[in-house]
Structure 1
Amino acid sequence: MSAPGGSGGAAVTRPAFGRMLWRGIRRRCPWCGGARAFFTGWFAKADRCQACGLRWRRGDVGFELGAASISAALVLGLLVTGLGVGIVATWPDVPYLWLTIGLGAAAIVLPVVLYPVTYTVWQALDLVMRPPQSGDGTPPSVP
């Protein structure tokens, strides 16, 4: 597939969806695969990929809502799964207090741990839905 981008509007080859998603899961730039491309720390984001120059926000107001939605769905899914496993594993003497404490702690810790991953995964999904245009800082080629 190709996507318009780069300087002068030349067509550039877009990485495959699976490759971009895998890069996002590993907290890399979905476009070029650069390590720590958008994050300078666990919570600190750079404006552009430090490897290829792709902009983090590409003119879409509310970009962060997609990442927050992915995070909420993932955390909720993990908590419901944990609750189900906890109930099934301890039936009939379910320790409701300990399940509540454990899942409450997980509800606080999981969003913090998953924060950068959900943002780079959302960046990958956004790149599939809205291919880069000229002015987005897209690289001339894809490694």
Structure 2
Amino acid sequence: MGSRSSIDPFASVYVGNLTDEATPELLTELFAQSAPIASVHRPAGASYAFVTFATEDGPAAIVYAIRVYDGLFFAGSPLKVQPMRIDSTPGLREALDAASTEGYFQFAQRDAHQRLNWLVRRIADMVGTIGLYPDAAATRPLMD
């Protein structure tokens, strides 16, 4: 989903430490909880992806995504979320600094944590249902 050419450093984050179970579709569902998604680009066989937000306030979406998702345990491993090419993109560091103090709170007011918790539970149910963790699916109740 998405191509490398559609990656805007002012509206995108690098997402690393991905397992094979972290498909572009699941990443889209996860990151859409913080801002609308324009694209998710994950090269075949790569343990990273680029998520591009479809919002006019890309730097605020980047800051928010980093604060919410960096370190989040997702599809078997903790995510590493960071801005793209911060040193080689003129003006990006300044835009992120401004978003840290101004735009972040607008995103935080969306009650994203509640939606994120719902999504993580939903994904956990999906992962258990499709058998990625067969031991969990085979567990019997403690009492019959």
Q: Is TM more than 0.5 here?
A: no
Instruction: For CA contacts below 8 A with separation 6 or more, give which structure has more relative contact order.
Output: 1
TM-score normalised by the chain length of structure 1: 0.29
Q: Which has the higher helix share?
A: 1
Q: Which has the higher strand share?
A: 2
TM-score normalised by the chain length of structure 2: 0.28
Q: Is the radius of gyration larger for structure 1 or structure 2?
A: 1
